[in-house]
Structure 1
Amino acid sequence: MSRDPLTEPDPTTSGHRREPGRHRRRLVIGALAVSLLANVVLIGTRDSGGIGSWRSQAGRLAYLSAYDEALAAMPSHRAYDVPTDFGTVRGYLFASPTVEDRRTNTDTTPIVLLPGWGSGTPMWQINLSGLVRHRPVYALDALGDAGRSIQSVPLDSAAAQAAWVEQALAGLKIKKAHIVGHSFGGWSATNFAIRYPGRVASLSLLDPVQTFGPIRASVVVRSLAFTLPLLPDSWRDAALADIGGTEQIDRNDPLTRMVALGNQHFVSHRSFPSRFSDPQLRSISFPVYAAMAADSAVNGDPDKAVARARRLVAGISIRSWPGASHSLPMERPAEINAELVAFMDRIG
């Protein structure tokens, strides 16, 4: 008897909770800024031929405890473990009460969320409730990263980074989707979409890294504050302000704790992504939306990044958000969600 390639762990149901307030959003933003900073340096200094792993079982269990607590605050969902050639991918389906199973996405094209590296599915906690009211939403934990996906083969090329996403979507029986990515997840989304355009209804990028502009040198310098433990806390605070727009971190918040524990205890072996070439961006034929943060430090000159995108990607809907940091989707969730929903509704 053939086995269904998609295995379902216990379906998880959690109640809807009140959207986080502005103060808590800023604390979460700080945590995600730490994640970005750590990944900028660590990904660039580790070899790409290994498999991501935990430094200790105790660290893994502490991380998973925080992960589960953060996930419990998200809308009702079902969890799936999808076998691929590169390992087992953990995926989640978040849907309104009228959407009972993944196969209902034949009626409505679903959204697929790809997280920033070092954060995992719970990073979408602030944005998710505003999206799930309109479409089924899938979220994937990235292979080779902290989370509940389990890597078994090195991800040593951009082609491999795209292939696991393709195999995960095929295993979830998603024929076509609106692909959304933030930060390094924006790079992952673009990398996948360029290589597998037949799976893409649209591509939405939220201040993507290494996509339209290069990472600013100051980000790399600031990142050293999170890899050299003897540097003063004032350097770390300045780094948070520079990248994430806040100097505050609340270690008691589950999402904040999850991100911190992931960066502390998980060792990734991904290669640092190359910026997409002009021919690669010109090859894009599907609808693209991009929100760029005017005060972001990860895209060199944000205005030049916007200009390059408009020059190379036909029909792209892109604008710069004044006063926004790299944590744009968490800083302005209502506005970003509204633009994403409107963009996708125009496509179908």
Structure 2
Amino acid sequence: MTAIYRSPSGAAAVRERYDALLGRWPVPCEQRTLATRLGDTFAVVSGPADAPPVVALQGSGGTAAHWLPDIATLAGRLRVHAVDAPGEPGRTAEVRPPLGSPAYAEWLDDVLDALGLPRAAFLGTSLGGWWALDYALRRPARVDALALVNPSGIGRRRVAPIVRFAAYRLCGAWGRRRALAMVAAGSPPDPARRAIGEFTLATFEHFKPRLGAIPVFPAERLRELAMPVQAQFGARDVLLDQRDAAARLREALPDADVRLAEDAGHFLPGWAGAAAEFLSRGRA
């Protein structure tokens, strides 16, 4: 098993800070540990028990705590199961099967089974959007709807900004602050998002992110998505060409709700209200 932290003390520091953020969860919740074939999976469950179920998947380097600024909006209309992905910081098993293998779909099969959910909607941001898309294509009968927020796997990756981002991260605390500011362009500076930004900086002092290529879904695969789809993109995303992604998705799925925010980057302001309305529509 590949170590995802640079040291045991660094792993402990990330988890301590993670637990502190979970203690600030603004709505009633239940923390659960789910048995899966990849190992234990940690989830935070919020929202009315009779509301439409949603599995929320955060991106690379993220945890369930990254939903903290928006969980009150989401849980007001949905039963949200925020899951720590394998091989990412948090409290899920530290394993990283190759992207594109069936392992993540099998893992999500186990997550749904452990939660007692025959079907659910999926909400994914960044790499979490890739996992959601991959699962929807492999297991369409278990996916009620897809809400994607700046997902990976549709548009082109921006090479030059990623090189600059990697270089910033080698420049100590100053570089990490510059890298975060670069990714967070257009994000509203509210206290909860500042706390998550600080947590992200602290995490990447100790965490080893995935470095491999992220597979892109070809148009013919995207056309197979028969469930309702909403996708929100930020045109100023420095990591992904989301203008290209929005155009590709509109062409592949003319009936999808595709939104491109011209002034937003990788962290989209105001996305949660639109996603909550979409995911609860006709599914209450």
TM-score tier after normalising by the smaller chain length: 0.7 to 0.9
Q: Which runs of 5+ in 2 are unaligned?
A: none
Structure 2 residue 104 is matched with structure 1 residue 132: no
Q: TM-score, normalised by structure 1?
A: 0.73
In 1: Cα distance, 2:84 partner to 2:121 partner: 17
The corresponding residue for 1:295 is 236
In the alignment, is the contact (CA less than 8 A) between 1:296 and 1:324 conserved in 2?
yes
Residue from 196, 211, 215 that aligns with 1:274: 215
Structure 2 residue 260 is matched with structure 1 residue 308: no
Once the two structures are superposed, residues 22-81 of structure 1 have per-residue CA deviations (whole angstroms, 9 ceiling, x without a partner) of xxxxxxxxxxxxxxxxxxxxxxxxxxxx43443323212211111011111112211111
In the alignment, is the contact (CA less than 8 A) between 2:60 and 2:209 conserved in 1?
no
Q: Percent identity?
A: 27
The corresponding residue for 1:169 is 112
Label 1:86 to 1:110 Cα distance change in 2 as closer, same or farther (>3 A). Answer: same
State the one-letter code of the partner of 1:168: V
CA apart distance, 1:299: 2.8
Structure number with higher helix proportion: 1
Q: Which has the larger radius of gyration?
A: 1
Q: Which runs of 5+ in 1 are unaligned?
A: 1-49, 100-106
In the alignment, is the contact (CA less than 8 A) between 1:218 and 1:297 conserved in 2?
no
Aligned length: 278
Report the 3-state secondary structure (helix = DSSP H, G, I; strand = E; otherwise coil) of the residue aligned with 2:148.
strand
Report the 3-state secondary structure (helix = DSSP H, G, I; strand = E; otherwise coil) of the residue aligned with 1:186.
helix
In 1: Cα distance, 2:164 partner to 2:211 partner: 21
In 2: Cα distance, 1:341 partner to 1:280 partner: 26
Report the 3-state secondary structure (helix = DSSP H, G, I; strand = E; otherwise coil) of the residue aligned with 1:224.
helix
The corresponding residue for 2:55 is 112
In 2: Cα distance, 1:311 partner to 1:215 partner: 19
The corresponding residue for 2:257 is 317
The corresponding residue for 2:22 is 71
Once the two structures are superposed, residues 63-102 of structure 1 have per-residue CA deviations (whole angstroms, 9 ceiling, x without a partner) of 1111011111112211111111111111111124xx3xxx
Structure 2 residue 201 is matched with structure 1 residue 260: yes
Once the two structures are superposed, residues 93-129 of structure 1 have per-residue CA deviations (whole angstroms, 9 ceiling, x without a partner) of 1124xx3xxxxxxx43211110111020000011100
Greater relative CO (CA pairs within 8 A, separation 6+) = 1
CA apart distance, 1:199: 1.3
Once the two structures are superposed, residues 261-286 of structure 1 have per-residue CA deviations (whole angstroms, 9 ceiling, x without a partner) of 32222335674321111221111111
In 1: Cα distance, 2:245 partner to 2:209 partner: 28
Residue from 58, 78, 81 that aligns with 2:33: 81
5 Å-filtered alignment, 1:177-196, equals 177-196=120-139
5 Å-filtered alignment, 1:1-348, equals 50-74=1-25, 75-96=27-48, 99=49, 107-151=50-94, 154-158=96-100, 159-211=102-154, 213-229=155-171, 233=174, 239-245=179-185, 255-267=196-208, 271-300=212-241, 302-328=242-268, 331-332=269-270, 336-348=271-283
Report the 3-state secondary structure (helix = DSSP H, G, I; strand = E; otherwise coil) of the residue aligned with 2:34.
strand
Label 1:224 to 1:54 Cα distance change in 2 as closer, same or farther (>3 A). Answer: closer
User: Which deviates more, 79-88 or 54-63?
Assistant: 54-63
In 2: Cα distance, 1:270 partner to 1:196 partner: 27
User: Which deviates more, 264-273 or 196-205?
Assistant: 264-273
In 1: Cα distance, 2:229 partner to 2:170 partner: 39
CA apart distance, 1:243: 2.4
CA apart distance, 1:260: 2.6
CA apart distance, 1:257: 4.1
User: Which deviates more, 142-151 or 253-262?
Assistant: 253-262
In 2: Cα distance, 1:143 partner to 1:268 partner: 12
Label 1:241 to 1:271 Cα distance change in 2 as closer, same or farther (>3 A). Answer: closer
RMSD: 2.6
State the one-letter code of the partner of 1:109: P
Q: TM-score, normalised by structure 2?
A: 0.88
CA apart distance, 1:287: 0.6
State the one-letter code of the partner of 1:181: G
In the alignment, is the contact (CA less than 8 A) between 1:177 and 1:199 conserved in 2?
yes
In 1: Cα distance, 2:198 partner to 2:240 partner: 27
In the alignment, is the contact (CA less than 8 A) between 1:71 and 1:122 conserved in 2?
yes
In 1: Cα distance, 2:133 partner to 2:31 partner: 25
Flag as ranges the 4+ runs of structure 1 deviating above 6 A: none
In the alignment, is the contact (CA less than 8 A) between 1:91 and 1:141 conserved in 2?
yes
